[in-house]
Structure 1
Amino acid sequence: MLVVRDLHAYYGKSHILQGVDLSISAGEVVSLLGRNGVGRSTTVKAIMGEVPPQGTIRFKGQEIAGLPSHKIARLGLGYVPEHRDIFPGLTVRQNLLLGIKNTRRPGKWRLQDMLDMFPNLAARADTPAGVLSGGEKQMLTTCRTLMGDPELIMIDEPTEGLAPLIVQQVGDLIAHIAKAGVAILLVEQKLSIALRISHRVYIMGHGRIVFEGTPDELRANEAVRKEWLEV
């Protein structure tokens, strides 16, 4: 479904991505792991067109490198950014409805589905989104992206700064999305969540992929964990 080959990206003169290769099949959950600053967030931004990419990015067989973000989104690629963008002056319900890309064709996810999954959001459906907690904003941002009916969703650091109970809820949401058949590229710091829900994992180091394998293969590879993940 998504194939990335020899992906490079720069911030000014800084060469951040230095030949990234990765792929995700339909319905697959893949986690992108690594320490802060190695290029994980830049990878998803480059795929989404928020950072100018150099290399090959093919989504459902179509080359998307260089396309504007809104056109990439309309092809069925969803993106939940790390900074949890919401419209604080609009209600939770209005934020969710803004995620719909095609009002003429109903998708897999309805507004009521989102509210049923998260009673907290349902209770605040008509409340301005700006008053939500950090965990609620993460859920709202993810659910709003789902309202656009993506075939693949990229989620960047969804548990950053959240309380343990909310971390568990966010992990359950991601697992629920996967069960619905949506492919997922998850950028995550917490190894426990990534290993619990992923089919495969990639580890980044110094702007490149340094490991690819199953969760079991990563669990068994202490040397890789020590070199590229542990502080």
Structure 2
Amino acid sequence: MLDIKNLHAFYGKSHVLHGVDLHVGEGEIVSLLGRNGVGRSTTVKSTMGQVEVTGSIKFKGEEMIGLKAFEIAHKGLGYVPENRDIFPTLTVEQNLLLGEKKGKKSRWQLEDMYKMFPRLKERQNTAAGVLSGGEQQMLTLCRTLMGDPDLIMIDEPTEGLAPKIVDLVAEYLKELKNRGISVLLVEQKLAIALEISQRVYVMGHGSIVFEGTPWHLRKDAAVRKEWLEV
């Protein structure tokens, strides 16, 4: 569904990604692991047309390089950034409704969001800016889903969240897979990535240094020590 080949990314004269190859299949959860600053967020930003790149990024067989971010989103690629990007003065429900694509019948409705995260239902008329960090993360995840993406890229969804909310996010990701939605997850927490992913990539210094199943990564102590452990 998503095929990235020989991807190089640049911020001005700074060369950040060095020939990244990555694939996400239909209905698959794939995690992109690595320490901070190795290029994981740049990979997903590049896929959304936010970074200068060379190489190839194909989604459902169509080349995405050269398209604007909103055009890529309309193709069915969803993106949940690390900084959440909610609209603080709008209510929870208004934020969710902003995620809808007009003229398209979605697999997801408001009630689906409220069923998945009952706390959002309780806070539906509350200004999003006063929500806790965990509630804002739930809101951002659900707002992206309201656009009915076929593949969703999620950057560090569990960062700074309480363990109970982390468990909720894990259940959310499993529900996406159950509904046939592909997921590219950028994550530092090894436990959640290994629990829910079908495949994992490890990134180091702007390149992919490991690709395999969670089972293979658990067995490869050398890769974990060199590229993941602090």
Which residue does the alignment assign to 2:166?
167
Deviation at 1:12, TM superposition (A): 2.1
SS where residue 184 of structure 1 aligns?
strand
SS where residue 107 of structure 1 aligns?
coil
Structure 1 runs of 4+ aligned residues shifted over 6 Å read none
Deviations 1:147-186 (A, max 9, x none): 0000000000001111111111111111111111100000
Which residue does the alignment assign to 1:119?
118
Deviation at 1:105, TM superposition (A): 3.0
Deviation at 1:119, TM superposition (A): 1.1
Which residue does the alignment assign to 2:24?
24
SS where residue 201 of structure 2 aligns?
strand
Distance 1:208 1:222 in 2: 19
Counterpart of 1:120, as a letter, is R
SS where residue 50 of structure 1 aligns?
coil
Q: Does 1:65 align with 2:73?
A: no
Deviations 1:32-72 (A, max 9, x none): 00000000000000000111221100000100012100000
SS where residue 53 of structure 1 aligns?
strand
SS where residue 176 of structure 2 aligns?
helix
Deviation at 1:116, TM superposition (A): 1.1
* CA contact 1:52–1:66 (8 Å) conserved in 2: no
Which residue does the alignment assign to 1:189?
188
* CA contact 2:11–2:52 (8 Å) conserved in 1: no
What is the aligned length? 230
* CA contact 1:35–1:228 (8 Å) conserved in 2: yes
RMSD: 0.7
SS where residue 57 of structure 1 aligns?
strand
Which residue does the alignment assign to 1:37?
37
SS where residue 70 of structure 2 aligns?
helix
Of 164-173 and 199-208, deviating more is 164-173
SS where residue 52 of structure 2 aligns?
coil
TM-score of the pair, normalised by structure 2? 0.98
SS where residue 200 of structure 2 aligns?
strand
Counterpart of 2:115, as a letter, is D
Distance 1:190 1:179 in 2: 22
Which residue does the alignment assign to 1:88?
88
Which residue does the alignment assign to 1:144?
143
Question: What's the % identity of the aligned pairs?
Answer: 66
Distance 1:177 1:135 in 2: 19
* CA contact 1:96–1:140 (8 Å) conserved in 2: yes
Distance 2:146 2:53 in 1: 27
Q: Does 1:222 align with 2:216?
A: no
Distance 2:119 2:33 in 1: 29
Unaligned segments of structure 2, at least 5 residues: none
